[in-house]
Amino acid sequence: MARKAAIIGGGVIGGGWAARFLLNGWDVAVFDPDPQAERKIGEVLANARAALPALSDVPMPAEGKLSFAGTITEAVEGAEYIQESVSERLDLKHRVFAQIQQSAPATLIGSSTSGFKPSELQEHAANPGTIFVAHPFNPVYLLPLAEVVPSPKNAVQDIERAKEILREIGMFPLHVRKEIDAHIADRFLEAVWREALWLVKDGVATTEEIDEAIRMGFGLRWGQMGLFETYRVAGGEAGMKHFMAQFGPCLQWPWTKLTDVPEFNDELVDLIAGQSDAQSGHHSIRELERIRDSNLIGFLRALKDRNWGAGKVLRDHDARRAVTFHDAAPTGAPLVMAQMQVLPGWIDYNGHMTESRYLFAASETSDAFLRLIGAGMDYVAAGHSYYTAETHIMHLGECKLGDRLTGTLQVLGADEKRLHVFIRIQRGDEVVASLEQMLLHVDMKANKTCAAAPEVLAKLDPITQAHKALPRPDAAGRFVGQRRA
């Protein structure tokens, strides 16, 4: 039975939470009195369906069921987790928490508030210990950060359980150890925002010029190293102490107006809005969201390839959801070695899986088999590996976005130095591609073939013997252009 999350408030943030839970296999019930809520969440969900799977290298779980509740009571019934994302009015949040706890007094309630402290949220609550801050960043379905802020009234085990739920849907719960107005990230952003308003008001820069300064320069560094690590590198070989000594004196200079606030009036609003319209008004908001998502996917996948920053969160999330294949007694059947899904990054201009991804699917299958026989990355690190010497691929069917694929492997033959395998990539019972491969065992330091380690052969030989009883695939031994018999 699917787990259930309740989302109270279906705006941009609530819709993002709904998409994040749904695409990670949770059922989601949304309550929002706005008559347009269903349409708005549908649009957010459409963007999320196109974006979030592109960050995954393992099959996404089956999407959960989305429902829209007529009351808060209906939404929270049976929910394991509740996320509140209503407007930033403390009195409204208190009323919402009271209604929730009439029906779900012991259920965890995370609040998306960007400014209120958890102790303020908990005032007058029937069970204050279940209410805490879980502040995300837009788009919630792509960006992993959630600032988790408890108060002394929250039990440690409840906060740990909330953090684990957030990890299970691919988020990075940053535990803020001390309650403070606006938590951590928004305090930092507010300082940048305040200074940006002064620069525009004083005619120093336009909104576009400020954005260019961020995205062409330090924003790229912050996206993968943050603030302090960036400045540590700026300090050169001497590190952070040198940076502080070199740039510390400028803290005394009147560079910024961070302790002063420009008058927030119609003139300032018109100035900022007018420049912003000139900068980006030729795009609709939905177009800008898709552009943003596409760019974020590129950044995040680059970080994922390097297992760094937010990319490490994505890798860890894949690892938690990946299907692992353990040692088993050899049987007279091809081994199921990989479960995959056709992701957005796998398809070409006509919506079909691109040619290189058939090879990738086969590689995932053979890599899993090598791990099974003890020739995985630890074996490679010790200096030995199986190198693919030949591959013959037959494309037998077209795959489309979302198709779930299985990779099976049959050993056609093996000796101390060679491994001859036949791989089938299947969609259900249909074989969409077959690949015949010859792999050679190599001493990587000497760069020549050698016998595999005895412990590898001890796992490989029983599988080879068991597979001798299997019918030889019709496609085995074929070459390009050969006619069918």
pLDDT digit string, tens, across residues 146-170: 999 999 999 999 999 999 999 999 9
Which tokens hold the place of 64?
A: 């959960």
Q: Which whole number is the average pLDDT over 284-303?
A: 89
- 238: pLDDT strictly greater than 90: no
pLDDT digit string, tens, across residues 393-437: 999 999 998 899 999 999 999 999 999 999 999 999 999 999 999
Q: How far apart are CA 140 and CA 27, in angstroms?
A: 17
Q: How far apart are CA 20 and CA 49, in angstroms?
A: 10
Collapsing DSSP states into helix, strand and coil, what is residue 22? Answer: helix
Which tokens hold the place of 376?
A: 């995985």
CB 392 within 8 A of CB 416: no
pLDDT bucket at 71, cuts 50 / 70 / 90: very high
CB 180 within 8 A of CB 117: yes
Written as one string, the DSSP assignment of 19-66 is HHHHHTT-EEEEE---TTHHHHHHHHHHHHHHHGGGG-SSPPPPP--E
- CB crowding 339-374: b at 16 or more within 10 Å, else e: bbbbbbebbeeeebbbeebbbbbbbbbbbbbbbbbb
pLDDT digit string, tens, across residues 463-474: 999 999 999 999
Strand ranges, E, within 100-211: 108-111, 131-136, 145-149, 172-175
Was 200 annotated as part of a binding site? no
- What pLDDT, on the 0 to 100 scale, is given for residue 385? 96
- What pLDDT, on the 0 to 100 scale, is given for residue 156? 97
The backbone region for 92, taken as left when phi is positive above 0, alpha when psi lies in -120 to 50, beta otherwise, is alpha
pLDDT bucket at 279, cuts 50 / 70 / 90: confident
- What pLDDT, on the 0 to 100 scale, is given for residue 52? 92
- What pLDDT, on the 0 to 100 scale, is given for residue 402? 85
Domains delineated in the chain: 4-183 (3.40.50.720), 186-282 (1.10.1040.10), 323-467 (3.10.129.10)
- What pLDDT, on the 0 to 100 scale, is given for residue 367? 94
pLDDT digit string, tens, across residues 188-211: 999 999 999 999 999 999 999 999
- Top pLDDT among 69 and 329 is at 69
Q: What is the mean pLDDT of the chain?
A: 92
Which tokens hold the place of 436?
A: 């015949």
Place of tokens 């552009």: 291
- What pLDDT, on the 0 to 100 scale, is given for residue 242? 81
pLDDT digit string, tens, across residues 47-67: 999 899 889 888 889 999 999
Was 236 annotated as part of a binding site? no
Which tokens hold the place of 212?
A: 């260019």
Query: What secondary structure letter does DSSP report for 265?
Result: -
- What pLDDT, on the 0 to 100 scale, is given for residue 106? 96
Residues constituting the chain: 485
Q: How far apart are CA 68 and CA 34, in angstroms?
A: 11
Q: How far apart are CA 36 and CA 45, in angstroms?
A: 14
Per the DSSP assignment, residues forming a β-bridge with 17 are none
CB 132 within 8 A of CB 149: yes
CB atoms within 10 A of CB 438: 16
Q: How far apart are CA 277 and CA 207, in angstroms?
A: 10
- What pLDDT, on the 0 to 100 scale, is given for residue 485? 61
Which tokens hold the place of 15?
A: 């819709």
User: By percentage, how much of the chain surpasses pLDDT 90?
Assistant: 72
Assign 3-state DSSP to the chain and report helix, strand, coil percentages, each to 5.
Answer: 45, 20, 35
Q: How far apart are CA 439 and CA 391, in angstroms?
A: 9
Handedness of CA 90, 91, 92, 98 (dihedral sign): positive
Q: Which whole number is the average pLDDT over 226-244?
A: 85
DSSP-derived pairing of the beta strands 81-84 and 4-8: parallel
Was 42 annotated as part of a binding site? no
Was 9 annotated as part of a binding site? yes
- What pLDDT, on the 0 to 100 scale, is given for residue 401? 87
- 280: pLDDT strictly greater than 90: no
* pTM of the predicted protein model: 0.81
pLDDT bucket at 337, cuts 50 / 70 / 90: very high
Was 14 annotated as part of a binding site? yes
Per the DSSP assignment, residues forming a β-bridge with 68 are 30
| Residue 267 CA: distances (Å) to CA of 154, 191, 254, 272, 274 | 44, 21, 26, 9, 10
CB atoms within 10 A of CB 295: 11
pLDDT digit string, tens, across residues 355-405: 999 999 999 999 999 999 999 999 999 999 999 999 999 999 999 988 999
- What pLDDT, on the 0 to 100 scale, is given for residue 410? 96
Q: Which whole number is the average pLDDT over 176-189?
A: 93
Amino acid at 294: S
Per the DSSP assignment, residues forming a β-bridge with 413 are 420
- What pLDDT, on the 0 to 100 scale, is given for residue 478? 87
pLDDT digit string, tens, across residues 22-37: 999 999 999 999 999 9
Q: How far apart are CA 444 and CA 154, in angstroms?
A: 55
Task: Please classify residue 336 by burial: count the beta carbons closer than 10 Å to its beta carbon, then call 0-12 exposed, 13-18 middle and 19+ buried.
Answer: middle
Residues 6+ positions from 298 with CB-CB distance below 8 Å: none
Which tokens hold the place of 333?
A: 């059947």
